Chain A
Amino acid sequence: MQLSKDLVAASATPIVLGVLSRGEDYGYSLLRRIARASDGQLEWSEGMLYPLLHRLEEQSLVASHWGASPEGRRRKYYAITDAGSRELAGHVSQWRLVIATLDALLPPGGSPAATSSGLRG
């Protein structure tokens, strides 16, 4: 499923915050968890995750610290902050509103399959 550029940009923040709401994580693992959650349908240009994380960190929605990977590489871990949790809750309620509105507007048994699977990610 290919999401439009705007939709990717709009959904990236809640998705990343959503992953982090289950506990701190590092970039690569974060992307893997997103891919698993979307059945591999949601793909990003992976390098773009990090500038996004840095932006969220600047906005104090996430906090980061350096650790080490099992192989001994430097690895940066990100965790959600309280402000991030509040932001996530706001995003989620907005998305739920959009999905609920779409569901209510579309005819039952129509062909919203593609749309809803795209939004599920």
Chain B
Amino acid sequence: MPAPRTDPRAADLAGSLAQWRRLMAERPGMSPDDVDELSDHLESEIADLQALGLAPDEAFLIAVKRIGAQDEVSREYARVHSERLWRQLVLTDADAGSSPDPSSGRAVSTPGTAARRPDAASSGLALALILGLAAGLAVRLPHAILGDAAGTAFYPHNLGFLVLPLIGYFLVRHWRAAPDDARGIDRIGGAAGVTLLVAVFAATAILVNIFPTHPSGQTFWLTAIHLPIALVVATGVAYLGPRWRLLGAWMDWVRFLGESVLYYILIALGGGALSALVMAIFRAIGVSPTAVEHVLGWVIPVGAGAAVLVCAWLVERKKSVIENMAPVLTAVFTPLMTAALLAFLAVLAVTGSPVTVDRNVLIIFDAVLIAVAAIVLFTVSGPQPAAGRPGPGLDAVRPHPGSDRGRPRDALGDGRAAGRVGRLPQQARRPRMQHPAAGPPVRIGLVLRTDLPGPDAERRRLLSRAAALAVRDPAALRGVGAGRGHRLPAPFRLVLTRS
């Protein structure tokens, strides 16, 4: 970093650079060295442009545009260094030597240090593993204490209470390590919010266990089916924080759940295959099967509980990996599910009157409908190619969480909103060294602060028009940057978001 600057716009520039670096570092396939190299390029270009007379923010905007969209550049890196993608699936270079303790690893994001990837990832993994172990034990211990018979009555109602609070704790704790948010648990209303959530869980747990039901009764199973949904919704509040009032934000939670389920299936398949293999090996060398089964009787439930937390960590950390698979899976399973349901209806119609259907069948059907609703919701919540999807945790840099899905509009200049974020248009007519595949775009937004007091209302309106134009047309952007008297000074602030 050069000598200390006093110009506030220069300070903005340092902040923008740091943010750009951070977003770039989070991309799969990018090593810290790559980010250093790219930011050397960026800063060299910014310095040259400033020498031509551009303001720092203008220079930054143009330099970022010239270097190319982050997703395209990082994809090209990933193609060259394909081996990194596999390594980064678990741990990244930047994470390797960092502190496992989120409280000490957390740094206030000052320009320069924030450029390094935050420690949240590895600390998140350590946290997820510890919590996962706790969840696994919480799942297994009641069986050890209560025995088989009581266990069958206990688990259908209480499984959610054993695992979900730990996920909630993980999600809240995860935020505390997130660099974008210094407010910690304030996101869900501070201590009061946390207390409320805990109270909801505790009250439900007491109510459900006090209410007299019998494992053979229908009430018992209806509760077992619907209670987890209610608890998952409550956990969703812990995930969403202040955004829980927004419908779109709940789609994030649905997506989170859907991707967790997919991860869990993968892990369960792997775990199952591994267990079968281990049993076969031990049997082959003559170890008594009961001993092996006794050990696995602990390992499998604990692993199953722990996997839930690991899935939560994986989804939080590595969305992009499964994101590409999820639409395919839903595309495959939606027709299959539909076919299965139609077959069921046909059989029902042929074999008997629906009026005489047993209530137990209806309860099963209820569960089927929940599964259908889950699949449909997950499909709908999937990433739309046309609309950028903001990731959770980045809402701190977006002034309007709900307003950035649309295209940039002329409304940029209407003076009503505090900010609009537009997507950087593709540089369509420029020769590329890679193919322009579709993917989550990086958006560069000009956030217009029209609420600033000042006499220059007319000029500000003109500028906002120019900015709206520039966001849609990169060529116009050059005009804005290079032209005299068309600078983008105080009323504009540059914001980068990653979808």
Q: A: which residues have CB within 8 A of B?
A: 2-5, 7-9, 12, 26-29, 43-52, 54-55, 58, 66, 69, 71-76
Contact = CB atoms under 8 A, between A and B. Distances in A.
B167 to A, nearest CB: 38
A19 to B, nearest CB: 15
A107 to B, nearest CB: 28
A3 B435 CA distance: 14
B427 interface: yes
Contact of B40 (A3, A51, A76): A76
B353 interface: no
B37 A76 contact: yes
B209 interface: no
B226 interface: no
Given A50-B77, A51-B73, A54-B80, A45 B432 contact: yes
A35 B199 CA distance: 65
B142 to A, nearest CB: 53
Given A28-B45, A55-B80, A58-B80, A48 B36 contact: no
Contacts of B39: 73
A44 B44 contact: no
Contacts of A54: 77, 80-81
Contact of B2 (A3, A43, A71, A74): A71
Top 6 A-B pairs, shortest CB-CB distance: A47-B73, A45-B68, A47-B68, A51-B76, A28-B44, A8-B431
Contacts of B44: 28-29, 69
B14 to A, nearest CB: 13
Contacts of A71: 2, 43, 47
B429 interface: yes
B431 A4 contact: yes
A75 B38 CA distance: 9
Contacts of B429: 2
Interface in B16-60: 33-34, 36-41, 43-45, 47
A91 to B, nearest CB: 16
Interface string B49-86: 00000000000000000111000110011011100000
Contacts of A66: 33
> Which secondary structure dominates where chain B touches chain A?
helix
Contacts of B434: 9, 48, 51
Given A28-B45, A54-B81, A58-B80, A48 B40 contact: no
Given A51-B76, A54-B80, A54-B81, A45 B433 contact: yes
Interface in B418-435: 427, 429-435
A74 B55 CA distance: 24
Contacts of B432: 5, 8, 44-45, 48
Given A48-B73, A50-B77, A54-B81, A28 B41 contact: yes
A44 B433 contact: yes
Given A51-B76, A71-B2, A28 B431 contact: no
A51 B36 CA distance: 14
A48 B432 CA distance: 8
5 contacts: A4-B431, A45-B67, A47-B41, A48-B434, A52-B80
A73 B45 CA distance: 13
A60 B1 CA distance: 32
Given A46-B66, A51-B77, A54-B81, A2 B40 contact: no
A52 B433 contact: yes
Contacts of B45: 28, 46
Given A45-B427, A50-B37, A55-B80, A8 B68 contact: no
B80 A27 contact: no
Given A51-B76, A54-B80, A76-B37, A46 B431 contact: no
A27 B41 contact: yes
A66 B33 CA distance: 10
Q: Which of A2, A9, A47, A71 has the most CB atoms of chain B within a 10 A radius of its CB? A: A47
Contacts of B76: 47-48, 51
Contacts of B1: 72
Nearest to B64: A47
Contact of B68 (A7, A27, A46): A46
A115 to B, nearest CB: 15
Interface string B153-169: 00000000000000000
A80 to B, nearest CB: 18
B396 to A, nearest CB: 26
Nearest to A55: B80
B414 to A, nearest CB: 33
B431 A43 contact: yes
A13 to B, nearest CB: 10
Contacts of A55: 80
A51 B44 CA distance: 18
B67 A46 contact: yes
Contacts of A51: 73, 76-77, 79-80, 434
Contacts of B36: 73-74, 76
Contacts of B34: 50
Given A27-B40, A74-B37, 15 more contacts: A2-B429, A8-B431, A28-B45, A45-B73, A46-B66, A47-B38, A47-B72, A47-B73, A47-B76, A48-B73, A49-B433, A50-B77, A51-B73, A52-B433, A76-B40
B358 to A, nearest CB: 63
